[in-house]
Amino acid sequence: MTAARPLSAATARRVALAAQGFADPPHRKVTARTIDRAVARTGVLQIDSVNVLQRAHYLPLFSRVGPYDPDLLHTAAERSPRCLVEYWAHVAAYMPVDLWPVMRHRMDEYRRDGHAWSGGAGRPAVADDLLARVRDRGPVTSRDLEEATGARSKEHWGWNWSLTKRALEYLFLSGEIAVVRRNQAFERVFDVAERVVPARWWEAPALSEAEAGRALVRRAAASHGVATEAQLRDYFRMPVGQTRRAVAELVESGELVEVAVQGWSRPGYLAASARVPRRVRAEALLSPFDPLVWERSRTEGLFGFRYRIEIYVPASRRVHGYYVLPFLLDEALVARVDLKADRPGGRLLVKAAWGESGIDVDRVADRLADHLRALGGWLGLDDVVVEPLGDLSSALAAAVARS
């Protein structure tokens, strides 16, 4: 048995940052191709309804390419021929459309076994009728179907709104319907999947479970750069056994290299194709749902940065704030800020600002101030206001005033 290759913590950080696109040169102009490349790096863009700053799926792209036109993402995800499609990948997420045939085995499992969200085992009784209605009326929202079926009316006893929602979720998870777009209310607009997924990928044969497992681990490894088996599994929320077999097969084929990362208690796996830059010059605020930080134990293992999302924590018990974004400067997470977009007032509010120990406070504050100005401008907010909470707030307020 070959001994695991040693990998320093600093090298692991650079590999991870490069894999996520943070070692790329600055983009002079952001185009559709720029967006495609960025999403290819991240593998998925998590979708979340929280809009205190900006919807979750927009922010990772800003972190990597800077200010961009959101219509570029809308075009990729909502207009034919789509480059992205919404599915339950990591969680609800946009994924590259070429993953559709890779996910077919998962869709087939949902179709056969059901899912807790779709009411448990088996095909819901109303699924066929609902699918026919989507085929006839699509694109449609769940609200459209509610009105068409009278699901909330006691006079239509055959339709129950909770059953209808579960059946819709079943059809979505099983790949029979797909999301055309999100409307202004952030509702999913559905149609039958063959009218949403480009023919090339709709007609592509499904992969076997083993082939799909290798494909997903391969993607996760490319996006992570270096990761433990559990971290590879989490990227696409894969079963333990499927991940373990895929990792072993990819190590055997030479696509993954087992490594012993300094400070990690479990074996790591390095993508054989991973870039290992000598240094990374990066500057980014990271959404709580950014792939670089969404797995909190990995964030702590790579960066020594303990990070928890506190959206669901009562205000009196929050440590750093409601919607807190880590600030990446070069190869380290050096600060965190609690941000809110005051859209009526045209202000980006920094509710709190905290620095990590040992940082160059003035340098961090200056770089963060410039980045906040850029973020505010992208969001259409004219001013940045730093509130006096957190050990970095005073220096940051002064830097914002100078910027």
Q: What strands lie across the sheet with 45-46, from one edge to the other?
A: 45-46, 92-96, 84-88
Contact 128, 192 (CB under 8 A): no
Q: Residue 385: what are its φ and ψ, rounded to 5°?
A: -120, 120
Q: How far apart are CA 282 and CA 294, in angstroms?
A: 18
The Cα 26–Cα 6 span in angstroms is 31
CA 86 to chain centre: 11
Whether 289 contacts 56, CB under 8 Å: yes
Backbone angles phi, psi at 354, to 5 degrees: -130, 135
* Domain count along the chain: 1
Q: Is 295 helix (H, G, I), strand (E, B) or coil?
A: coil
Long-range contacts of 314-318 (CB under 8 A, 24+ apart): none
Who's near 369: CB < 8 A, 6+ residues apart? 384, 396, 399, 400, 402, 403
Tens digit of each residue's pLDDT, the chain (403 residues):
578 999 999 999 999 999 999 999 888 899 999 999 999 999 999 999 899 999 999 999 999 999 999 999 999 999 988 999 999 999 999 999 999 999 999 999 999 887 655 556 678 888 999 999 999 998 999 888 877 766 554 444 444 557 888 899 999 999 999 999 999 999 999 999 999 999 999 999 999 999 999 999 999 999 999 999 999 999 999 999 999 999 999 999 999 999 999 999 999 999 999 999 999 999 999 999 999 999 999 999 999 999 999 999 999 999 999 999 999 999 999 999 999 999 999 999 999 999 999 999 999 999 999 999 999 999 999 999 999 999 999 999 999 999 9
CB distance 159 to 126 below 8 Å:
yes
Q: Give strand ranges (E) for 234-371.
A: 256-261, 268-271, 283-285, 324-329, 332-342, 347-355
In a domain, 312, yes or no: yes
Q: Per the omega criterion (within 30 degrees of 0), is the bond before 326 cis?
A: no
User: Is residue 337 situated within a structural domain?
Assistant: yes
Instruction: Give the number of other Cβ atoms within 10 Å of residue 28's Cβ.
Output: 7
Q: At residue 179, what is the residue type?
A: V
- Preceding omega of 81 cis (within 30 degrees of 0): yes
Widest distance between CA atoms in the chain: 70
**CATH number assigned to the domain comprising residue 351:** 3.40.630
What strands, in cross-sheet order, belong to the sheet with 268-271?
Answer: 5-7, 256-261, 268-271, 226-227
Asked if 203 and 98 count as a contact pair (C-beta separation under 8 A), the reply is no
Q: Is the model's pTM score more than 0.75?
A: yes
Q: At 163, is the secondary structure helix, strand, or coil?
A: helix
Scan for tokens 């090339």, then name that residue.
Answer: 200
Tell me, yes or no, whether 388 lies in a domain.
Answer: yes
Q: Is residue 396 part of a domain?
A: yes
How far apart (Å, rounded) are the C-alpha atoms in residues 200 and 323? Answer: 40
Residue 230 lies in a domain: no
Contacts of 361 (CB under 8 A, 6+ apart): 355, 392, 395
Domain of 346, in residue numbers: 308-402
